[in-house]
Chains A and B, each alone.
Chain A
Amino acid sequence: GEDVEQSLFLSVREGDSSVINCTYTDSSSTYLYWYKQEPGAGLQLLTYIFSNMDMKQDQRLTVLLNKKDKHLSLRIADTQTGDSAIYFCAEDTNAGKSTFGDGTTLTVKP
């Protein structure tokens, strides 16, 4: 079945770049997503990428997709303390549902 794996924790210093990695199993996924969850809140869509793209950039966020290796990454440039949150990778599955990873907790140290 579908599965999405991501590392659980990442710690960076303020001003550095953060790279959060994700692997997925469903090669038929059309869209892949990144969500952010701040403490006590719901998930917020950050960005998504269509499977025929290699890269998508949106301000400080860069998404890289390696479809051959089923690897997705999210790079946050100039990471700020406000970027501290849990980041979820997800892939679309059939009939409009998504499979989510367990989330990567990003800690940004001043």
Chain B
Amino acid sequence: DVKVTQSSRYLVKRTGEKVFLECVQDMDHENMFWYRQDPGLGLRLIYFSYDVKMKEKGDIPEGYSVSREKKERFSLILESASTNQTSMYLCASSLPPSYEQYFGPGTRLTVT
């Protein structure tokens, strides 16, 4: 079974703090994703990585950056957290040819 883990289930940070969200997958998947999920807005792609050190902006990359130094680990960084980044963050991974995505349990981030 594919396992995708995220470093925290719940996180509370203050405005202006630097925040690191980590995601690890154990199935040697090439592709990894970071999404945020907000009520009424569905799932929105923040960043996508298709290989180590490779990344591509998604639909809403502003205020975020990512790091993929190892194949199994994909980190999302909020350089200076703001209250509008309060959200559920979901990490996923996938593999060709069918590219179905395997999701982590999510991190609910609150920025106060």
- Interface positions of A (Cβ within 8 A of B): 31, 33, 35, 40-45, 48, 50, 88, 90, 92, 95-98, 100-103
Contact = CB atoms under 8 A, between A and B. Distances in A.
B99 A42 contact: no
B21 to A, nearest CB: 13
Interface string B1-30: 000100000000000000000000000001
A18 to B, nearest CB: 20
B109 interface: no
Contacts of B106: 40-42
Interface residues of B, number: 26
B104 to A, nearest CB: 5
Given A40-B106, A41-B106, A43-B90, A31 B100 contact: yes
Given A96-B50, A97-B48, A42 B103 contact: yes
B10 to A, nearest CB: 10
A97 B100 contact: no
A88 B99 contact: no
B61 interface: no
B60 interface: no
B105 A45 contact: no
Contacts of A88: 43
Nearest to B106: A42
Contacts of A98: 99, 101
B105 A41 contact: yes
A107 B86 CA distance: 27
Contacts of B4: 42
Contacts of B100: 31, 33, 45, 48
A97 B93 CA distance: 10
A48 to B, nearest CB: 5
Looking at B40, B94, B100, which has the most chain A CB atoms within 10 Å of its CB?
B100
